[in-house]
Amino acid sequence: ELVVQRDSDIDNWKEVMLIYSSALKQISTKLEILNDEFQHVHRYNPIEHIKSRVKTPESIVKKLKKHGYESTIQNMVEYVNDIAGIRVICSFTSDIYQIAEMIRNQSDIKVISIKDYIVNPKKSGYKSYHMLVTIPVYLSDRIVDTKVEIQIRTVAMDFWASLEHKINYKFEGNAPDHIRNELVECARMVAELDERMLSLNEEIQMIHQGSQTEEAIV
């Protein structure tokens, strides 16, 4: 249980969660604008879709415990980086880096850290590009720089991650070896699929440029 017994604690908790969900709204809108602008200039959408969520209290408590912190609002704000999380799903690996660059170029967003699990995949086989950023949330009496974790991945990486997440949940993190090995093998296939789809798309683009059309490819 999070330590929220007094009324003032509950008020604080509600306000903190309101700030995180406002930060998510702002980042989502920014990404939608960038996607629309990209569509206008390049005639294609780098973003397939966006999912966002505020972490559940249970999940926040679990993470604090895992890292040995007491479950207080102060600790959660300080140490849990993904209370506000947004997932950006795109078609090609190249889109991931383009989206990351567009985010980096937003002057009100501050990038705190980057974890490139595409260049350095996790042992599980997990691939994704993580950005921890802060965005200012404007309240009536103050501005609060708020942390948001942005995960950028391809449709194929997302397919893999959601199944792997489900399996790990079922086995409480202790899946049998043959399942884990199979997942690693599937991750390798996902990487190969992403690579082949990317070069196929590049080839199609070259043909289009050759015939001097500016038609959308995806």
> Which pair of tokens denotes residue 180?
């884990």
Residue 11's φ and ψ, nearest 5 degrees, are -60, -45
Active site residues: 149
Measured distance CA(139)–CA(169) in Å, rounded: 37
Binding residue for ligand 0O2, selected from 51, 122, 188, 196, defined by CB under 6 A = 122
When the beta carbons of 38 and 152 are compared against ligand 0O2, the nearer one is: 152
Binding span for ligand 0O2 by CB under 6 A among 44-52, 96-104, 135-143, 158-166: 158-166
CB-based contacts of 69: which residues, under 8 Å, 6+ apart?
A: 75, 79
Say if strands 129-138 and 110-116 run parallel, antiparallel, or are unpaired. antiparallel
166 belongs to the binding site for ligand 0O2 (CB under 6 A): no
10 versus 163: smaller Cβ distance to ligand 0O2:
163
- Give the nearest distance from C-beta 163 to ligand 0O2 in angstroms: 8
- State the Cα angle at 100 between 95 and 125, rounded to 5°: 70
Among 137, 115, 153, 101, residue whose Cα is nearest residue 29: 137
Minimum CB–partner distance for residue 82 and ligand 0O2 (Å): 6
- Quick one: which of 126, 137, 154, 194 contacts ligand 0O2 (CB under 6 A)? 126
CB closer to ligand 0O2, 65 vs 165: 165
Measure Cα distances from 120 to 109, 111, 116, 132 in Å. Answer: 25, 19, 6, 17
Strand pairing report for 47-54 and 129-138: unpaired
Among candidates 112, 84, 83, 88, which has minimal Cα distance to 100?
Answer: 88
Contact 24, 148 (CB under 8 A): yes
Residues between 27 and 86 that touch ligand 0O2 (CB under 6 A): 59, 63, 82
Given candidates 3, 4, 57, 115, which one binds ligand 0O2 under the rule CB under 6 A?
115
Separation of alpha carbons 23 and 54, rounded Å: 10
Residue 161 interacts with ligand 0O2 (CB under 6 A)?
Answer: yes
Quick one: which segment of 17-25, 69-77, 96-104, 121-129 binds ligand 0O2 (CB under 6 A)? 121-129
- Residue 89: beta bridge partners? 49, 153
Which one, 31 or 38, has the nearer CB to ligand 0O2? 31
Q: Which of 164, 180, 190, 194 binds ligand 0O2 (CB under 6 A)?
A: 164
Count the residues of the shown chain that bind ligand 0O2, applying the rule CB under 6 A.
11
Residues that bind ligand 0O2 (CB under 6 A): 59, 63, 82, 115, 122, 124, 126, 130, 161, 164-165
